[in-house]
Amino acid sequence: MRIVLGIKWVPNTQAVRFDPKTGTLIREGVPSIVNPHDLDATEFALKLKDKFGGRITAITMAPPAAIMGLQHVIGMGVDDGILASDRAFAGADTLATSYVLAKVIERIGDVDLVVFGQETIDSSTAHIGAQVASWLKLPYVYYVEELVDYDESKKEIVFRRKLEDREEVYKVKLPAVISVAMHSQKPRPVRMSYKIRAKLENPIQVWTNKDMGLDPRCIGLKGSPTIVAGITWTPEVPRKKQVFKGDPKEAVKWLIEKLKEEGVLPF
Partner 1 sequence: MDVKNKWDIIIVGAGPAGSAAGYTLAKKGFDVLILERGRQPGYKELFGGRVYAEPLKKIYGNELSGAPIHRWVKKEKLSFVDGNKLVSLEYQSDTSTSFTTYLPQLAKWMADKASEAGALLVEEVTVDRILYKDGKVVGVGSGPDEAYADLVIDAEGVNRLLLEGLGLVEKLKPEQVAIGAKETIKLGEDKINERFGLSKGEGMAWLLMGSITDYIPGGAFVYTNKDSVSIGLVLHLGHAIKEVKEHISQMVEKLRLHPQLRNLWIDGDIMEYGGHLTPEAGPAMMPKKLALNGLLITGDAGGLLLNVGYTIRGVDFAAYTGYLAAEAAIEAHEKGGFTESNLSVYEKKLRDSFVYKDLTRLTGMQDLYSDAKMFKALPKLAVGTASRVFEIGLETPGIWNSFTQARKEAGFGLFSLAWKGYKLMKKM
User: Which residues sit at the interface with partner 1, rule CB under 8 A?
Assistant: 17, 29, 31, 33, 68, 72, 75, 189-197, 199-201
Q: C-beta of 121: minimal distance to partner 1 in Å? A: 16
Please say which residue, 162 or 197, places its beta carbon nearer to partner 1. 197
Nearer to partner 1, 202 or 226 (CB): 202
State the minimum distance, in angstroms, from the CB of residue 208 to partner 1: 25
Residue nearer to partner 1 on the CB measure, 124 or 202: 202
Closest CA to 183 of 80, 20, 73, 38: 38
Distance CA 139, CA 130 (A): 9
**Cα 26 to Cα 233: distance, rounded to the nearest angstrom:** 13
> Residue 33 or residue 45: which is nearer to partner 1 going by CB?
33
Q: How far is the CB of 203 from partner 1 (least distance, A)?
A: 10
Are 198 and 205 in contact by the 8 Å Cβ rule? The answer is no
For residues 186 and 249, which CB has a smaller minimum distance to partner 1 in the complex? 186
Least distance in Å: CB of 78 to partner 1? 12
Min dist. Cβ of residue 81 to partner 1 (A): 15
Q: Do 105 and 114 touch, CB atoms closer than 8 A? A: yes
Cβ-proximal residues to 220 (8 Å cutoff; 6+ apart), any chain: 87, 88, 89, 90, 91, 92, 96
The alpha carbon of residue 96 and the mean position of all alpha carbons in its chain are separated, in whole angstroms, by 16
Judged by beta carbon, residue 195 or residue 258, the one nearer partner 1 is: 195
SS3 100: helix
Q: How far is Cα 254 from Cα 266, in angstroms, rounded to an integer? A: 16
Task: Identify the bridge partners of residue 240 per DSSP, sorted by sequence position.
Answer: none
CB of 214 to partner 1, least distance (A): 32
Calpha distance 11→126 (Å, rounded): 17
Q: What would you measure as the largest C-alpha separation in the chain, in angstroms?
A: 75
Least distance CB 197 / partner 1 (angstroms): 4
Shortest distance in whole angstroms from residue 47 CB to partner 1: 17
The nearer residue to partner 1, 68 or 130, going by C-beta atoms, is 68
CB atoms inside a 10 Å sphere around CB 149 = 11
Q: How far is CA 123 from CA 35, 158, 177, 232, in A?
A: 11, 30, 21, 14
State which residue, 17 or 260, has the beta carbon closest to partner 1: 17
